[in-house]
Amino acid sequence: MRIEQLWRAGESGVLALPSGRLVRGRGLRDPMPSGHPPTFGVYLLGDEPPEFGWETRWVRWPDFRLPADPPYLMEVLIESLRRAEGERVEIACGGGRGRTGTALACLAVLDGVPAAEAVGYVREHYHPHAVETPWQKRFVRRFDRPR
């Protein structure tokens, strides 16, 4: 399936990856941005999210912590990267900074950004306070593309 209207670089929360793929990060406590809704969403929450009206994946991830199942996160991020070629992919948590920033940094690693540079990349291109805790930063530095 190819979506006619993808995210646009420069829109609120949209991260442009090195490959040119665009992924939107956001905080679920904030109002939904105007424009088209996502076609695929990844929700990083301690509890199961509500129904959104589009296809979703839930990654159990309590606030200020790390994902409960890192291999599942890897699987979901690989799917997200693939789907971002032609779909509107959204990655979100409660506030849109810590967990979302960490997942976006890991997505950047999958797209070719060196793990040691991924937090800086996301802070520059998504939000300056993305990836909030020392253990989230360490998680990104140790994140590696599958072989």
From first to last of the 147 residues of the chain, give the pLDDT tens digit.
Answer: 444 588 998 888 999 999 999 999 999 999 998 888 999 999 999 999 999 999 999 999 999 999 999 999 999 999 999 999 999 999 999 999 999 999 999 999 999 999 999 999 999 999 999 999 999 999 999 998 776
CATH classification of 14-142 is 3.90.190.10, yes or no? Answer: yes
Burial of residue 10 (number of CB atoms within 10 Å: 0-12, 13-18, 19+): exposed
Cα 72 to its chain centre, rounded Å, is 14
Contact 46, 63 (CB under 8 A): yes
Enter the pTM of the model: 0.95
